Amino acid sequence: MVLTKRFMKTLITKFRSGVPLSVVFHLLIFVILSGCLDKQVEKYKEIGKSSDNSSTVAASDTTPPTKPTSLTLTGDSCLYQTDATSWTASTDSGGGVSYYQMAISTSTNISDIISGGGFSSSVVTGTSAQFTTELGLSAGTNYYSLVRAVDAAGNKSNHAVSASWQIPNDNPSAFLTGTETTEAGTPTNFNQATAYPIVWSASSFASCHFSHSLSVNPEQLSITHDGDYFISVTIPLTLSDVNGIRRAVSLDVLVNGVSVSQGRGDSGYIRQGSGHAEASVHIATLLNDLSAGDYIEVKAIQEASIGTVTTSSASLYVEYVKPSRSIFFAKGSNTVGGSGFNLAAADAISWTEVKEDTDFTHSDSVSPENITINTAGDYLITANLPLFMASCDSKRRSSDIKIKLDGVTIAGGTGAQGYIRCAESHDSATVHFSGVAKSVMAGQVLTVTAQAGTTITTGALNVIAGTEASIMIEKISSADNILTVRGNRTVASTD
């Protein structure tokens, strides 16, 4: 309020005419307050007009926003983030889009929204969302992400639908079998002088991580997701002709056509005497840091005399190792003493670590034979030692390995398949162990020792050229529902 000169002159005149000063002062205060009140009244009138207009707009807005477009699955379905979705923003002709809602459905319809995955469970202001609560989704089931926009008046757009997605299995795996190689002449004979890949004629696999064709390159199992993979190969062998000559078949695991150093199996020796006409060859190890697009092959090759050796069914099992699993993996090419693997006194294998999770401690430079277990629990162990006799003298060799905790062999912790005949070109073998160390205490030290068999000729055995010993240890989670058992007899007897 601005006090005019005329008003001020009137006040002064009244004061001079004998009106008391207190009366003039109160009159001045009254005029000032009256002016402020008038302005407040006008202000509230304007606000009221604005509110009335807004209510009218909200009440009259019955047009929903446009449907969101370009729904894209942004999560990695192989890492259990399949419901992560982004989209292009909707538009609204009224007060604009206020927020979006996302739901999970077993079809493209709202009627099939799953329990706990409704629109009200996910309200977002941006253009991407992901459910963070456990919805109890089932592996192998197709799911869809549904998204709709909501404006200021509460109008809801039509829902947009993503492409279908699935939750993968807890331990995605592939299992393949076959009885032939790619050799064109006699493909059922695994005892060939040239190494040939095994043809996998039957396969089942989790498509999130693997790909295999029965018609195009059936010898190859392709990897479709980056990561570490556990591999196990078994080839049972049988002689199909009898001529008194020793046979032996070995296997090699290859990635992208190149043999991996830890992928040698060489336990397929058949004496072909006194009724010995069967054997089997194995490998169980880790293939670390594979990339999408890599492919795995398994080749079979003759390691002793010629002759036909067939299989009832070779098998290949490959399992994706989730990042949450606790793994130790290492390779080695000699013992701590450096004198080979077939000595009279046991010597521990020296390891170079490849992968070490928090449940383990190991040093490549200080006591490299020692693997310290940091967390109490049960541990799955696989070890493989490929052996080679550089100059055979017709004397048999065989090296054992033992899995030890604090220097004591664990129950069942011996591998003893490493027999080398040193006759008819049989100069190599492998020793394997697969088993569980139960109730390991935190701080215990695990080692693997090698030593000549008690009734066998001693003398240095080295690793096969281009190969390495390997060990993989995994802490068994209590949630894995694994059964472990031991035994030392058949149902009938201890024989």
Is pLDDT at 64 greater than 70 in this prediction? yes
Q: Which of 25-34, 93-102, 450-459 has the highest mean pLDDT?
A: 93-102
Show the tokens assigned to 402.
């033992």
Q: Which of 23-27, 132-136, 287-291, 323-327 has the highest mean pLDDT?
A: 287-291
At residue 454 the predicted structure's pLDDT band, cuts being 50, 70 and 90, is: low
Q: What is the mean pLDDT of residues 291-298?
A: 97
At residue 43 the predicted structure's pLDDT band, cuts being 50, 70 and 90, is: very low
- Whether pTM > 0.75 for this model: the answer is no
For residue 135, the model assigns a pLDDT of 73
For residue 136, the model assigns a pLDDT of 73
Window from 17-31, 137-151, 250-264 with minimum mean pLDDT? 17-31
Whose CA is closest to 430, among 232, 252, 267?
A: 267
Is pLDDT at 340 greater than 90 in this prediction? no
Is pLDDT at 179 greater than 70 in this prediction? yes
Question: Which residues are CB-contacts of 334 (< 8 A; sequence separation ≥ 6)?
Answer: 340, 349, 350, 462, 463
Percent of the chain scoring above 70 in pLDDT: 83
Q: Mean of the per-residue pLDDT values for the chain?
A: 85
Q: Which of 73-87, 301-315, 470-484 has the highest mean pLDDT?
A: 301-315
For residue 1, the model assigns a pLDDT of 46
pLDDT digits (tens, 9 = 90+) for 124-178: 888 888 765 567 777 778 888 889 999 999 999 999 998 888 776 667 899 999 9
At residue 49 the predicted structure's pLDDT band, cuts being 50, 70 and 90, is: very low
For residue 114, the model assigns a pLDDT of 84
Q: Which of 29-33, 71-75, 204-208, 422-426 has the highest mean pLDDT?
A: 204-208
For residue 100, the model assigns a pLDDT of 92
What CA dihedral angle connects 109, 115, 117 and 121, to 10 degrees? 120
**Residue 235 and residue 21: Cα distance in Å, rounded?**
119
What is the 3-class SS of the chain, one letter each residue? CCCCHHHHHHHHHHHHCCCCHHHHHHHHHHHHHHHHHHHHHHHHHHHHHHHHHHHHHHHHCCCCCCCCEEEEECCCHHHCCCCCEEEECCCCCCCCEEEEEEEEECCCCHHHECCCCCHHHCEECCCEECCCCCCCCCECCCEEEEEEEEECCCCECCCEECCCECECCCCCEEEEEECEECCCCCCCCCCCCCCEEEECCEEEECCCCEECCCCCCCCCEEECCCEEEEEEEEEEEEECCCCCCCEEEEEEEEECCEEEEEEEEEEEEECCCCCCCEEEEEEEEEEEEECCCCEEEEEEEECCCCCCEECCCEEEEEEEECCCCCEEEEEECCECCCCCCCCCCCEEECCEEEEECCCEECCCCCCCCCEEECCCEEEEEEEEEEEECCCCCCCCEEEEEEEEECCEEEEEEEEEEEEECCECCECEEEEEEEEEEEEECCCCEEEEEEEECCCCCCCCCECCCCCCEEEEEEECCHHHCCCCCCCCCCCCCCC
Q: What is the mean pLDDT of residues 419-445?
A: 92
Would you say 272 and 279 are in contact if contact means Cβ atoms under 8 Å apart?
A: no
Question: Which residues are CB-contacts of 468 (< 8 A; sequence separation ≥ 6)?
Answer: 261, 262, 331, 332, 333, 386
**Residue 206 and residue 78: Cα distance in Å, rounded?**
10
Q: What is the mean pLDDT of residues 368-374?
A: 98
For residue 37, the model assigns a pLDDT of 36
Would you say 161 and 144 are in contact if contact means Cβ atoms under 8 Å apart?
A: yes
